[in-house]
Structure 1
Amino acid sequence: MTLKPYHDGGVSMDTTFSDILKKVVSQYPLKVKSISLLSDKGKKAVWSIQTDKGELIMKKVPFDETHIDFMLHAIRYLRGNGVNTPDVLKTGSGQGYVKLDGEYFVLFETVYGRSPEYENDSDLSLILKGMANFHRASRGIESPNGFYPSYLLTKWKSDLQTRMERLATWKEQRQQVKNKNEFDRLFLANVDTFLQQARAALTTLNQPCFVQWVKETEATKTLCHQDFAAGNLVVGRDGKLYVYDMDSLTVDLPVRDLRKILNKVMKKGGSWSLPTMLKMMKAYQQVNPLTKDQYLVLGADIQFPHLFYGQVSKYYENREDSWPVNKHIARLKDMISTELSKNNVLKSFLGRLDEVVKRGS
């Protein structure tokens, strides 16, 4: 894991778990000076450990040996192909993790730096070039045990179809409710627009270019990080981009990471921007060039209303039940505004693909 300079003394640890962690650390050839809890999300936790070899980062990870084996193999493979990501320290017996009382722990080196900023053109270019390098470097990876913790490549159309059907089902259900609240009314006023976008996206995925790309990727493999965003990136003191948190790696088209970072950047900016999108894709294209047909697949994934669906599902599936309804409403308004701003930008971008593709050739 990479650590940004956010230490403030850490958080006090439960005495019992502190004892467990000391047992974990004792399996490494280290002399420990202090341990500070940085974050605890139940299944996941992170500690800063000051040792005779400097500061290290311990993570408790919420998966088993086969998943960890793949993650460790992927880290080695990516590092060997030029991706900057922190190395994993081995125990005294040469293991890449420790299992204790049913919990799994992995120890990482620390890299210091700052979070990249989407508003900074140089940082944004660094992120997209780093993502492109990540995708290119991952090609050819094979699982050491034949097991892939996540393989989303072949689930695209079925997953999007399921999400579209859920939107239609929620529409029918909320139309029958007598006492609709503001969230319901906002959802119903916009859902038909986004169902239309969803159908258009799925139609594009029926094109031969999508089928061919999936077939090629099944043979060559490409990993997506799934959260290649500022929170998991650091611009190191050497000026290089470092990526961490390899917990959610999946075999998939690079489009998944591209669509996610585009949505994050545009959402933070409040609306879609053609100059920003062109800038981002030209940076990516310099390192891992895509074809025009492949950009059409990206366009289809962008067209699908992921942001709208995500916020609606949080509310109707009670995935953020601690939020007051006003927060859900405010977030839904933001998502709708961002989603509605993308169509003209996407159309203009696809009309300028020659400019983008030429840049990377």
Structure 2
Amino acid sequence: MDTIFAEVVKRVISHYPLKVDNIYLLSFKGKKAVWSIETDIGEVIMKKVPFDENHIKFMIHAIDYLRDNGIHTPGVINTDSGEGYVKLDDEYFVVFEAVYGRSPEYEHEDELLMILRGMASFHKASKGIEFPKGEFPSFLLTEWKSDLQRRYEKLLKWKEQRSQVTDKNEFDKQFLKHVETFLKQCQTSLSMLNDPNFDQWVEETKVTKSLCHQDFAAGNLAIGSEGNLYVFDMDSLTVDLPVRDMRKILNKVMKKQTAWDLQLMIKMMKAYQEVEPLTKEQYHILTADILFPHLFYGQVSKYYENREEKWTNEKHISKLNDMIATELSKETVLQGFLTQLEEVVQHG
């Protein structure tokens, strides 16, 4: 392992009541890094986290709150002085317990439904959280409509810009061929959110406070040897409607299929409903959020904002085509879902 890294790890660990045997770098992405450290009390996981003290204190507070409410997630190990983190040369490090297990697989229906029940339990357990230190570091709840509107306007701008380019490449052509369809999806989604039920849910959540994980997906989950579902990576917690996490997992699962699958969507939502029941009106809001072309927008913004510099043009085009196919297959499924909502809601 890089001697500079080893030195940093040793300096951080010197603040803990731990003796180090071995250090392994698991991942390094610029501002983030993860190490596995063998110590006299067993393995611990050390993370370099890319945010400030207030955010770290909130993350630790939320982890404790969720654990107290029955969520399985690795605990934070305190330093000799009782702190939950170490600051070193303007960088922050947190040490976690190690948890052993394997990632659940979407293809195994029982494991997929376990993820949805786990997500519902996570949302339920987070309710009522307060942050003693003041404002929450992330409060996406109040930014929904403005964020979707901004994305819609970006798609419009790219459409105007690329239409005027004389030598359009293959990506431009595919984008321009389909963008009108997705702009219509944006408009329908935004108009569906102009709904007093949405505003009411937002107002209620301002009071009850519930957290979204923002990436409650297989890569951040593990099924432990005792069968419990463990949740990792609490870096991006935000106060929001549970819809954000629900839409993300549905998009993740459906883009791995050849097309959106109505029966699978219903099974997933029934699993969620068993633990944390939502109303018909709230499922309408989920449908509105899914209708917005998040996958298409994400792929297009990666290309036009040059966020994946190492990708080839072929990879960008291939990914775009996949996302277009997924997005185009969802409208009839969402209509079918709304007609079968009674069945889902009664499952709670």
Q: Could you tell me the TM-score, scaled by structure 1's length?
A: 0.95
Q: Does 1:42 align with 2:33?
A: no
In 2, distance between residues paired with 1:270 and 1:71?
37
Q: Does 1:265 align with 2:261?
A: no
In 1, distance between residues paired with 2:113 and 2:8?
42
Q: Which residue of 1 aligns with 2:21?
A: 33
Once the two structures are TM-superposed, the CA of residue 339 in structure 1 deviates from its matched residue by 0.3
Q: Which residue of 2 aligns with 1:174?
A: 162
Q: Does 1:312 align with 2:294?
A: no
Q: Which residue of 2 aligns with 1:4?
A: none
Q: Determine helix, strand or coil for the equivalent of 1:359.
A: coil
Q: Which residue of 2 aligns with 1:348?
A: 336
Once the two structures are TM-superposed, the CA of residue 268 in structure 1 deviates from its matched residue by 1.1
Q: 1:326 aligns with which of 298, 310, 314?
A: 314
Q: Which amino acid aligns with 1:336?
A: I
Q: 2:265 aligns with which of 267, 277, 299?
A: 277
Q: 1:290 aligns with which of 269, 278, 283?
A: 278
Q: Which residue of 1 aligns with 2:9?
A: 21
Instruction: Report percent identity of matched pairs.
Output: 68
Q: Which residue of 2 aligns with 1:69?
A: 57
Q: Which residue of 2 aligns with 1:106?
A: 94
Q: Determine helix, strand or coil for the equivalent of 2:320.
A: helix
In 2, distance between residues paired with 1:206 and 1:135?
24
In 2, distance between residues paired with 1:157 and 1:108?
36
Once the two structures are TM-superposed, the CA of residue 83 in structure 1 deviates from its matched residue by 0.6
In 1, distance between residues paired with 2:252 and 2:156?
25
1:230-269 map, 5 Å: 230-269=218-257
Q: Which residue of 1 aligns with 2:212?
A: 224
In 2, distance between residues paired with 1:115 and 1:16?
31
Once the two structures are TM-superposed, the CA of residue 149 in structure 1 deviates from its matched residue by 1.4
Once the two structures are TM-superposed, the CA of residue 147 in structure 1 deviates from its matched residue by 2.3
In 1, distance between residues paired with 2:4 and 2:35?
15
In 2, distance between residues paired with 1:320 and 1:111?
32
Q: Does 1:60 align with 2:51?
A: no
Q: Which residue of 2 aligns with 1:6?
A: none
Q: Which residue of 2 aligns with 1:146?
A: 134
Q: 1:194 aligns with which of 148, 171, 182?
A: 182
Q: Which amino acid aligns with 2:130?
A: E
Once the two structures are TM-superposed, the CA of residue 318 in structure 1 deviates from its matched residue by 0.8
Question: How many residue pairs are counted as aligned between the two chains?
Answer: 348
Once the two structures are TM-superposed, the CA of residue 132 in structure 1 deviates from its matched residue by 0.2
CA contact under 8 A between 1:270 and 1:334: conserved in structure 2? no
Once the two structures are TM-superposed, the CA of residue 108 in structure 1 deviates from its matched residue by 0.5
Q: Does 1:118 align with 2:106?
A: yes
Once the two structures are TM-superposed, the CA of residue 30 in structure 1 deviates from its matched residue by 1.1
Q: Does 1:134 align with 2:122?
A: yes
Q: Which amino acid aligns with 2:107?
A: E
Q: Which residue of 2 aligns with 1:8?
A: none
Q: Determine helix, strand or coil for the equivalent of 2:347.
A: helix
Q: 2:192 aligns with which of 204, 218, 233?
A: 204
Q: 2:203 aligns with which of 196, 204, 215?
A: 215
Moved over 6 A (4+): none
Q: Which residue of 2 aligns with 1:9?
A: none
Once the two structures are TM-superposed, the CA of residue 269 in structure 1 deviates from its matched residue by 1.4
Once the two structures are TM-superposed, the CA of residue 326 in structure 1 deviates from its matched residue by 0.7
Measured against aligned partners, the alpha-carbon deviations of 1:42-65 in whole angstroms (never above 9, x if no partner) come to: 100000010111111000101111
Once the two structures are TM-superposed, the CA of residue 271 in structure 1 deviates from its matched residue by 1.3
Measured against aligned partners, the alpha-carbon deviations of 1:297-320 in whole angstroms (never above 9, x if no partner) come to: 000000000000000011111111
Q: Determine helix, strand or coil for the equivalent of 1:75.
A: helix
Q: Which range moved further: 18-27 or 215-224?
A: 18-27
Q: Which amino acid aligns with 1:84?
A: H
Once the two structures are TM-superposed, the CA of residue 235 in structure 1 deviates from its matched residue by 0.5
Once the two structures are TM-superposed, the CA of residue 167 in structure 1 deviates from its matched residue by 0.6
Q: Which range moved further: 123-132 or 146-155?
A: 146-155
Q: Which residue of 1 aligns with 2:153?
A: 165
In 2, distance between residues paired with 1:112 and 1:317?
38
Measured against aligned partners, the alpha-carbon deviations of 1:161-220 in whole angstroms (never above 9, x if no partner) come to: 111111111111111011011111100110000000100000011011100000000011
In 1, distance between residues paired with 2:85 and 2:76?
9
Q: Could you tell me the TM-score, scaled by structure 2's length?
A: 0.99
CA contact under 8 A between 1:223 and 1:249: conserved in structure 2? yes
